[in-house]
Structure 1
Amino acid sequence: MKIPLLDLNAQLKTIETEIKKAVIEVIDSTRYIMGPEVEALENEIAAYTGGKYGIGVSSGTDALLVSLMALNIQPGDRVITTPFSFFATAGVIARLNAKPVFVDIDPNTYNMSPDALEQWFKTHAQETHRVKAIIPVHLYGQCADMDPIHELARAHHIPIVEDAAQAIGAQYPSSSGPKKSGSIGDLGCFSFFPSKNLGCMGDGGMVVTNDPELNEKLKMLRNHGAKPKYYHAMIGGNFRLDPIQAAILRVKLPHLDQWHTMRRQNAAYYDEKLKNIGVKTPFVAYGRSRHIYNQYVISIPENRDGLRQFLTENDINTEIYYPVSFHMQACFKDLGYREGDFPNSEYAANHTLALPVYPELTPEMQDYVVDKIRTGL
């Protein structure tokens, strides 16, 4: 039995006719840059996430980049984030010649530790005035613990940019009521990379915000800083979302909550079947209904790589998200961090493994995965 990490063909079969119709309509319209499909998706994503404004952009990476540009991040500014995420989280900071500052993750959720963040502010009082943004990541489909992060940010007058690339639809039980990822901070960034729960057929992203001034600034920045056309009050970039991708996403969006539910069911099945066999299953911080399981990540005490090789030999595709913490990446050597600085991140990099959890996965396929894990441990 062959088990892919993700089977987009299985998803496509259920919506292929709708997708092709939507794409052909865009082709026939001859509106190939921005236009009504992008505007409609922006409104729909804003409504879905609980934000007032949606700004369609070219990728999740560019969503983060343009958000930092909108906050006027300058060379030498500090931006605090986690050392354990997809590279773009830290890469966009460095691209603006600002300095990434890392705080360790919670060992259970793999998200930014509020305690580590608080400790950083206590021990770096002389640098606090240089911190211009905080980027918590909602990794694997579960929100970071945002209330204490929000409290620390507000105490120091620092804006929050949520990296919600893996977490569209995830919920957080805020003290002010339940909120969806992306609508908790000042700016929320989403990715529509094909492997995401809501994925397009190429690259795409979205920024959501409740701030009308940031909304206007983001819309200018994604189009070279122009308003009106050919008049540039600022320098931006070409960060526009393609209307064909927007049309595809509009077909998929009504199915998203059902796909979330199917992933949760698969996760619950794994949780039950993987009990008491020596692996740590994903920690559920706020209730399963608030987790969207973009990834189902287990932790293996010993010989993670050996188990992964065994699963590969038995036609089970897995992935390591992520094998190297940012502070150990060669490109960030000049930041001065050393091995051991972020032990929770380093442990996760060496011990975690993502299993297939996509909606169309069957119990028989999951049983096969579990059986091979038992054998391979």
Structure 2
Amino acid sequence: MPEGSPPAPIPFIDLDAQRRALGPALEEAVLRVVRSGRYILGPEVAELEAALARYTGAPYVVSCANGTDALALALMAWEIKPGDAVLVPAFTFAATAEVVAWLGATPVFVDVREDTFTMDPESLARGIATARRLGLVPRAVIPVDLFGQAADYAAILPLAAAEGLKVLVDCAQAFGATWQGRQVAATGDMAATSFFPAKPLGCYGDGGAVFCHDRETLETLLSLRVHGQHLEDKYENVRIGMNGRLDTIQAAVLLAKLAVFDAECAARDRIAARYAAALADVAIVPRVAPGNRSVWAQYTLRVPGRDREAILTRLRAEGIPTAIYYPKPLNRQRAYAHCPVAEGGVPVSERLSGEVFSIPFHPYLDEATQDRIVAAVRAAIAAA
């Protein structure tokens, strides 16, 4: 590098490094689909669904076009409707609440825990009471397995059962994570995930899946996925559905990536441990709750009391990309400002939004690059 030149930027998530590691097998998988001409619901789609069921232990899997559709399909199968309330965390991506509003139901925002960023069961209980006080019917809760690890299902599942709520696990950032040895995708009444390219298991476009536990729900999901069609007569529509099919090429990509997924998760664990050892004295590093295994969708630091923008500006100058997940909780966003919030508010979500930032993280991040990131982060925090 010429003297005085800015440092070369590094990728936030290096998908090309993964492509190179997978090699010709991935390209051949895509070409097989191209040559076959079976681009929609080709054999690779059913093969992927079977592979995902084996991997997670979930009895049934329905692939779909994206993670948002996966959430929507589950709620549609439960016939969520106007007048119903669905409890969602305020500190998450908009899709979790968006699908509730699509169906005319009301998202009720609850807070998250400071240590894990996942749904706070005590706030959930207050949110259920708030919904009932407003004349809504609490029907479901969508815990989000944020940044790669499971929510507190030991508390959430019995609370939901006692209150008569369905549990839809949003594992879009945590496919492959476990809670008490159980895959998060096999937890709850249903689970939904995303295969967006940046996810721990991602395709080369959009993709998603729903995981369920009984044949009746499976058949409902299969119908809903294709315009609500009758499973034996595609021109007989028996319910209002959507066009939510997964492209065959994306299924082929996911099958190739699933073959190396466990090795990638192990690499993510090693990198996370290395980051934690190097950064715990200058920032609040992520904590994995006992009984959980994270897949580290993001590596998110907290810097309370520091000038976050100054830190990020300095990192940009050093060629270190960052991201803020999430700069504003959902209850503060214009589209959702009218939605109810659990009694007591969501102070942790609002505080975290001003403190967090994520640094580059992926399973192909070599130690030299990790060291460069760590040195830059430490210097930026010290200067803030």
Q: Give TM class, smaller chain.
A: over 0.9
**Structure 2 residue aligned with 1:57:** 64
CA distance in 2, matches of 1:184, 1:243: 27
**Structure 2 residue aligned with 1:159:** 166
1:120 maps to amino acid = G
**Is residue 40 from structure 1 mapped to residue 44 from structure 2 by the alignment?**
no
User: Among 217, 223, 226, which residue is 2:226 paired with?
Assistant: 223
The CA deviation at 1:351 is 0.5
2:330 maps to amino acid = F
**Is residue 192 from structure 1 mapped to residue 195 from structure 2 by the alignment?**
yes
Deviations 1:116-162 (A, max 9, x none): 11233456554687011110000000000112111011112211111
The CA deviation at 1:16 is 3.1
**Is residue 314 from structure 1 mapped to residue 314 from structure 2 by the alignment?**
no
**Structure 1 residue aligned with 2:358:** 354
Structure 1 contact 186–211 (Cα < 8 Å) conserved? no
The CA deviation at 1:337 is 5.3
**Structure 2 residue aligned with 1:325:** 329
The CA deviation at 1:13 is 0.4
The CA deviation at 1:18 is 1.0
* CA 292–62 in structure 1, closer or farther in 2 if over 3 Å, else same: same
CA distance in 1, matches of 2:70, 2:131: 29
**Structure 2 residue aligned with 1:247:** 252
CA distance in 1, matches of 2:341, 2:378: 37
**Is residue 75 from structure 1 mapped to residue 79 from structure 2 by the alignment?**
no
* CA 348–14 in structure 1, closer or farther in 2 if over 3 Å, else same: same
Give structure 2 stretches of 5+ with no counterpart: 1-7
* CA 240–315 in structure 1, closer or farther in 2 if over 3 Å, else same: same
Report matched runs for 1:132-281 at 5 Å: 132-173=139-180, 178-227=181-230, 228-277=233-282, 279-281=283-285
CA distance in 1, matches of 2:135, 2:54: 35
Aligned-residue sequence identity (percent) comes to 40
Deviations 1:44-77 (A, max 9, x none): 1111111000101000010001111111011221
Structure 2 contact 58–212 (Cα < 8 Å) conserved? yes
**Is residue 285 from structure 1 mapped to residue 289 from structure 2 by the alignment?**
yes
Structure 1 contact 103–112 (Cα < 8 Å) conserved? yes
* CA 65–122 in structure 1, closer or farther in 2 if over 3 Å, else same: closer
2:18 maps to amino acid = Q
CA distance in 2, matches of 1:124, 1:68: 18
Structure 1 contact 121–128 (Cα < 8 Å) conserved? no
- How many residue pairs were aligned? 370
CA distance in 2, matches of 1:100, 1:186: 19
Structure 2 length-normalised TM = 0.93
Structure 1 length-normalised TM = 0.95
Deviations 1:71-107 (A, max 9, x none): 1011221100101111100111111111000110001
**Structure 2 residue aligned with 1:131:** 138
SS in 2 for 1:151: helix
CA distance in 2, matches of 1:172, 1:130: 29
The CA deviation at 1:335 is 2.0
